[in-house]
Structure 1
């Protein structure tokens, strides 16, 4: 497998995963928003710059997304006490609790549909 084939496989797996996400989960979110939310949950307390570097979206897009997520009580932002120019982002306790209570998202049906079984 070469790098292009690996990239295509990754895209196919992401599409399969998106199909399997329940409607009440992150399915209604755009791909970039899902990537940003996933990054924030994986690396809580990260700066906007750190998130931007990892997800590879423009900083303006990440900042706008974080603002929308904050307005919807998904994340909270605080000023970095060590560098007051930086904003740190972390999931809210409410969002963490919702994530713990999310229903399972089996992939059997989406996989069978994709494979034609």
Structure 2
């Protein structure tokens, strides 16, 4: 399998790096459950400051996982599923490649077992 995730402008790499942090995963879960909301509302459900939430949201935004839209004095954040979809497709292709490799190993092992007296 090739490094297809690099060919997509590093999108998959950015998503995986962003999701490596448990606070960012929790923020993504909260946004998915609550829909569009503010950093202040998100911070209410987390043991971190609003400023920390804003920094985490900036990382998620840079990875294409969320977007922020200004509404008056506040910024409302929402999930953007396209980057997650691309990452899921890459992971599925990787899993399929490993399945093919393991099936080949199994066939070789079974053939060797049949050849053994």
Q: How does 1:1-117 map to 2 (within 5 A)?
A: 29-80=20-71, 84-95=72-83, 97=85
The structure with the largest helix share of the pair is: 2
Ranges of 4+ aligned residues in structure 1 off by more than 6 Å:
99-103
| Structure 1 contact 73–92 (Cα < 8 Å) conserved | yes
- TM-score under structure 1 normalisation? 0.54
Evaluate the alpha carbon distance shift between residue 98 and residue 39 of structure 1 in structure 2; reply closer, same or farther with a 3 A threshold. Answer: farther
TM-score (norm 2): 0.54
Greater Cα offset, 70-79 or 91-100: 91-100
- Please, what is the CA RMSD of the aligned residues? 2.8
Q: Secondary structure at the match of 2:35?
A: coil
- Cα gap change, 1:69 to 1:25, in 2 (>3 Å): closer
Unpaired stretches in structure 2, ≥5 consecutive residues: 1-14, 93-117
Say if 1:48 and 1:87, in contact at 8 Å, map to a contact too.
yes
Cα deviation digits, residues 56-84 of structure 1 (max 9, x gap) = 3211110001011101100000012xxx1
How far does the alpha carbon of each residue in 1:8-44 deviate from its partner, in whole angstroms, 9 at most, with x for none?
A: xxxxxxxxxxxxxxxx979x51221211111111112
Q: Give the conservation status (yes or no) of the 8 Å contact 1:75–1:95.
A: no
| Residue ranges of structure 1 left out of the alignment (5+ in a row) | 1-23, 104-117
